[in-house]
Amino acid sequence: MSYCLNPACPNPENLLDTEHCQACGSVLLLRDRYRIMQNLGHGGFGATFLAKDEQLPGSPPCVIKQLRPVASSPHVLQMARELFKREAKTLGKIGNHPQVPRLLDYFEANQEFYLVQEYISGLTLQQEVKQNGPFSEAGAKQFLSEVLPMLQYIHSNQVIHRDIKPANLIRRTQDKKLVLIDFGAVKDQVNPTRAGASEQTALTAYAIGTPGYAPPEQMAMRPVYASDIYALGVTSIYLLTGKSPKDLDYDPTTGEMMWGKYVQISEHFGTVLKRMLDVSVRHRYQTAGEVLRALDLEPYLDSLAQSMAKPTKAAPIKPALPDYSLPSGELSSGLFPSSPTARMAAAIRARQAKAAMDSSSGLSGGTRTRGTGGPRISTMTSGDRTSSSSEPPSLPPKLNANELLHAYSKGKRDFTYHDLSLLNLSKITLANANFHQSKLHKVNFQGANLFNADFGRASLSQSVLKNANLARAYLSHADLQGADLRGADLSYAYLSNANLRGANLCGADLTGAKVTDEQLALAKTNWATVHPNGKRGLW
């Protein structure tokens, strides 16, 4: 098809390779180069088209945005022109990032402005959720781990996107990486009411954003970098629930989105999301880097609670835990009782105290200590496991293979902190299960379906994962030392900081996986190993 760009054309569809529109007579080959193939969408200020560049070999596809304001007043035209120029300048500055579409051309023809961009083939996250359903917690964490570094890069170039939402994030078909699109082009009329109804981008003066995704300060025309953090938080809620902001209730007093009852996530992840979504800019995360560090806070929760437990003098925080939890301008002194960290620590202490009381009341023989030197060890008489003082006071009961499978079949997905070492779980399905910080030493997962499972900080040393499906699994900081991963599907798995020393990755598929060269250098690979770049061969 050869599509006509004339807004007034009564029948813009023409046969391929036609030189002039059969309905209105307009020239169809834009700038003697770009042939429009399909209308991808339009709004009050512009239209977007799929085109092909006939001056290049193979006529590769591209995306063309045409400035097409509905209103003809000089004010509206000037506003639209400035927005398009801004988008061109932004894409020209940051378009060398692999997750941002490149600007290919920018020109004016027949008193209309055009942007030519790289074509990104794939589904938007909005389409993904509608087709496949909501994400798991591990999936949402993996989404954030991929988008936050990109947002860091964008902000480092003094750019605020202002319209982050599921419809503006495309999972590229060829490498499955997320690409952020739409840097400034407006898709709706100067009418916030209509925009709110259709969930399209609204423009009021220069306030750009999608109602529900844009925070209050942005809609008040005062966007900051933290405004993108809020929009990313709302996007995460959409991925977890499948519900858009207009389908959720808001607290009439604070204006906060009420999403908690729709998700089943860990307390810590919920705390991170809540701060991302704080309506107060001052108390929200200020940078993408702060959110990235907060998502890695789990291993410090116990020590943090202990340091907060002393009212006379706060224990020093370990150097490995940056002081990113305080709101901007809040000084670190004493217990900082009003900070989110203090509230979180108080919740941890209360939960641990309750667990300890429940545990002690249920024991028949109490606890006994062994040895006179080294760390204090408590042996629970109601089970065969031991725990050091650094572990949670009350661990889940040890499950055998049948009990685990029965619980999973009944809908249970949370197996955090469980001790499942030495179990034979070959060829079973545990997709989307949460094994965060669980003990899985020498577990037999051969041929198991572990798609999108969360193994963050889990101990999988010497486990058998041969031919297992670990696609999109979350394995951040997991211990995989000596694990057998021959032939495993680790495509797009998140292996950041995982211990791969001695792990056997011969024949494993690591396409798109988040893993460093240094990590892979510690593992065993062979000619059949597919590396993150999609190529086979020895490391």
Question: Both 163 and 228 in a single domain?
Answer: yes
In a domain, 166, yes or no: yes
Q: Are residues 185 and 219 in the same domain?
A: yes
Domain boundary among 79, 103, 118: 118
Cβ–Cβ contacts within 10 Å for residue 327, how many?
A: 18
Same domain, 185 and 284: yes
* Same-domain pairing of 71 and 153: no
In a domain, 465, yes or no: yes
**Residues 425, 536 within the same domain:** yes
Rounded to whole angstroms, how far apart are CA atoms 266 and 392?
Answer: 15
Q: Is residue 381 in a domain?
A: no
User: Is the pLDDT higher at 238 or at 187?
Assistant: 238
- Domain-ending residue, one of 257, 281, 296: 296
State mean pLDDT over 395-407: 87
Which residues 6+ apart lie within 8 Å of 280 measured at CB? none
Write down the pLDDT at residue 509. Answer: 93
Average pLDDT over every residue of 475-491: 94
Residue 109, CB-side half-sphere exposure with 13 Å CA sphere: 20
Tell me, yes or no, whether 407 lies in a domain.
yes
Same domain, 100 and 209: no
Count Cβ atoms below 10 Å from residue 395 Cβ, excluding itself: 17
Q: Could you tell me if 95 and 172 lie in one domain? A: no
- Picking from 246, 280, 296, the residue at the C-terminal end of a domain is 296
Q: How wide is the angle at C-alpha 238 spanned by C-alphas 235 and 242, nearest 5°? A: 155
Residue 333 lies in a domain: no
The one-letter code for the residue type at 156 is: S
Angstrom CA distances, 442 to 90, 471, 484, 508, stand at 51, 21, 10, 19
* Region of residue 450 (left: phi > 0; alpha: psi -120 to 50; beta: else): alpha
State residue 108's pLDDT score.
Answer: 81
The chain-wide mean pLDDT, for the chain, equals 78
Is 344 part of any domain? no
Claim to verify: residue 41 and residue 172 sit in the same structural domain: no
Q: Count of domains in the chain?
A: 3
With respect to residue 338, please indicate whether it lies within any of the assigned structural domains.
Answer: no
Whether residue 114 sits in one domain with residue 127: no
Q: Which of 369, 374, 367, 317 is nearest to 342 (CA)?
A: 317
CATH code: domain of residue 419: 2.160.20.80
CB 427 within 8 A of CB 405: no
CA distance 368 to 381: 9
SS3 content of the chain, % helix, strand, coil (to 5): 30, 20, 55
Instruction: At 137, give phi and psi (nearest 5°).
Output: -60, -45
For position 80, which CATH number holds?
Answer: 3.30.200.20
Mean pLDDT calculated for residue range 363-370: 35
pLDDT at residue 185, rounded to an integer: 39
Token pair, residue 342, equals 């203090």
pLDDT digits (tens, 9 = 90+) for 162-218: 889 999 999 998 888 899 988 763 322 323 333 333 445 544 444 467 889 999 988
The pair of structure tokens assigned to 29 is 């080959």
Catalytic residue chosen out of the listed positions 163, 182, 419, 489: 163
Query: According to the 3-state scheme, what is the secondary structure of 475-524?
Result: CCCCECCCCECCCCECCCCECCCCECCCCECCCCECCCCECCHHHHHCCE
Query: What range defines the domain where residue 108 resides?
Result: 2-118
| Same domain as 188, residue 236 | yes
pLDDT at 74: 78
Same domain, 56 and 155: no
Residue 396's pLDDT band, with cuts at 50, 70 and 90, is confident
Q: Model confidence at 85, in pLDDT bands (50, 70, 90)? A: confident
pLDDT-derived band at 394 (thresholds 50, 70, 90) equals: low
Most confident of 81-90, 327-336, 474-483: 474-483
Assess whether pLDDT exceeds 70 at residue 520: yes
Is 74 in the same domain as 163? no
In this predicted structure, the answer to whether residue 497 has a pLDDT above a threshold of 80 is yes
pLDDT over threshold 80, residue 110: no
Does 29 fall in a domain? yes
Specify the pLDDT at position 374. 34
Active site residue 163: yes
The enclosing domain of 196 has a CATH number of 1.10.510.10
